[in-house]
Amino acid sequence: MTTRRSILKTMAAAGALSVWDAPIHYAFASVPTDRRLVVVVLRGALDGLAAVPPYGDPDYADVRGVLALSKDGANGLHDLDGFFGLHPALTNMKAMYDAKELTTFHNICSPYRDRSHFDGQNVLETGGTSPHILQDGWLNRALKPMRMADGVKAVAVAQSPPLVLDGPAKATSWMPSVLPEPDEEFLARVKALYANDAVLSVSLDSALALQAEAQAAMDDPSSKSMMRGGQNANLVPLFGGAGKLLALADGPRVAVLQATGWDTHFDEGAGDGQLARRLQALDGALDALKTSLGPAWSKTAVVMATEFGRTVHVNGSNGTDHGTGGAAFLLGGAVAGGRINAEWVGLKPSALRDGRDQPARTDLRAMFKGVLAEHMGVSKAALESVVFPDSASAKPLIGLVT
């Protein structure tokens, strides 16, 4: 976490400024592009049939039972095209869809075909064909082809960079501070201590510059109430803070955020309930990201994905279990939105994987590749050989961004 507190703690413990992966240049050095890329990892396996219900499918209401959504009532879903909708909690995302700033994906999944969260998230974040064959994240590997491997051009809003951003290319992490900061006199003494060390002095100045800009974005008192209690209790400060950093003219251009709590094995709820509350928190956070980005929203693409989907049928606890295919999202002012990307095969038993799961008809890597190529200028050669090895079968989706 790139705060003064973490910097000082690290220096005291190790005698060096190791919050960075390696010595860095000034935090806000010149940036190679004016486009922004945000990756949101939804940990726990989001129920795609709840987030993007195919309410027009003739089998939908029967197979979903108590979890089925409709357009009727106080918690009616948001219609998209007469067949697919959005969960009623996703009001801001519906506005983005109407503004052609959101594309939804269905029957989409990574190459992973089993049901372990740990392994599924590993494949999602490494971009591999199976768990644990790659040791770094696909987004970290993409930084060099994007000319962002130097300086602080990629930031994770987390205590430390998650696997998707972990690797040899330089990246950092930031979280809003929830503890008192060292006073200015103490900080001045530390700066004086490192004044004659070219590496540590530059690193300290860089970290403090990033923290100063970030903390300025967090002047709302609500930003102090972090996720101490429930899952996704307050994502707004995190997403809003990330947007402020990305909005800076010479700030980061890539960000990673996370939202947890999607493992809805019991009492999932339909139009209301635990899943609805989490979706509402995510929806509000995405609106905060858009608002804080300001004009930079028009140059932003946000990729939002989960490790796998959930079962089509409801289990005995009024929830859903681990599945295969699910939903993903691409949103932002740079997105060619207002569309549903779904190779829909229906919900009849014969169409389901193992008689229980949505089949994976689209590879998540194809979506990632399309965004990296069209939005961030990553070459086909780099995508195939460096970013997503052994992915020739996952052809990049085209026309995803403007």
Q: What is the pLDDT at residue 159? A: 87
Question: E strand or H helix at 36, and its extent?
Answer: strand 36-42
Number of domains, the chain: 1
Range of the domain at 383: 31-177+218-349+364-387
Query: What's the longest Cα–Cα distance across the chain?
Result: 72
201 domain-assigned? no
Residue 212 belongs to a domain: no
Element of type H or E holding 371: helix 364-376
**Residue 13 within any structural domain of the chain:** no
Q: Which residues contact 166 (CB under 8 A, 6 or more apart)?
A: 136, 137, 140
Q: The domain spanning residue 287 has which CATH number? A: 3.40.720
Q: In this structure, are strands 102-109 and 362-363 parallel, antiparallel, or unpaired?
A: parallel
Query: How far apart, in whole angstroms, are the C-alpha atoms of residue 258 and residue 254?
Result: 14
Token pair in block for residue 138: 């696909």
For 211, the token pair is 């923290």
94, part of any domain: yes
Token couple for 165: 């951003």
Helix (H) or strand (E) holding 258: strand 254-259
Strands 154-156 and 172-173: parallel
pLDDT of residue 365: 98
- The string over 80-112, giving b where at least 16 C-beta atoms fall within 10 Å of a residue's C-beta and e elsewhere, is beeebbbbbbbbbbbebbeeebbbbbbbbbbbb
Does any domain span residue 225? yes
β-pairing, 339-342 vs 102-109, is parallel
Cα–Cα nearest to 254, from 344, 343, 167, 147: 147
Alpha helices (H) along 60-112: 60-64, 91-98
> Structure tokens of 16?
């060096």
* Inter-CA distances, 127 with 36, 136, 300, 365, 366, Å: 20, 9, 22, 7, 11
Note whether residue 303 is domain-resident.
yes
Whether residue 78 contacts residue 275, with contact meaning beta carbons closer than 8 Å, is answered with no
Closest alpha carbon to 276 in 82, 55, 76: 76
- What letter represents residue 169's amino acid? A
pTM, to two decimals? 0.83
CA torsion through residues 315, 320, 322, 323, sign: positive
Extended strands (E) in 272-381 = 300-306, 326-331, 339-342, 362-363
Please list the pLDDT of the chain residue by residue as tens digits (402 residues). Answer: 333 333 333 333 222 222 223 222 223 446 678 999 999 999 999 999 999 999 999 999 999 999 999 999 888 999 999 999 999 999 999 999 999 999 999 999 999 999 999 999 999 999 999 999 999 999 999 999 999 987 789 999 998 899 999 999 999 999 876 545 555 666 666 667 777 777 666 666 656 665 565 555 455 443 333 333 344 558 999 999 999 999 999 899 999 999 999 999 999 999 999 999 999 999 999 999 999 999 999 999 999 999 999 999 999 999 999 999 999 999 999 999 999 999 999 999 999 999 999 999 999 999 999 999 999 999 999 999 999 999 999 999 999 999
**Position 171 in a domain:** yes
CA–CA separation, 397 vs 239, rounded Å? 27
**DSSP assignment string, 265-282:** -S---SSSSHHHHHHHHH
CB atoms within 10 A of CB 188: 11
Exposed/middle/buried for 167, CB within 10 Å: 0-12, 13-18, 19+? Answer: buried
Q: How many CB atoms lie within 10 A of CB 304?
A: 24
If one counts every other C-beta atom within 10 angstroms of the C-beta of residue 170, the result is 20
**CB neighbours of residue 26 within 10 Å:** 15
> What phi and psi, each to the nearest 5 degrees, are found at residue 77?
-70, 165
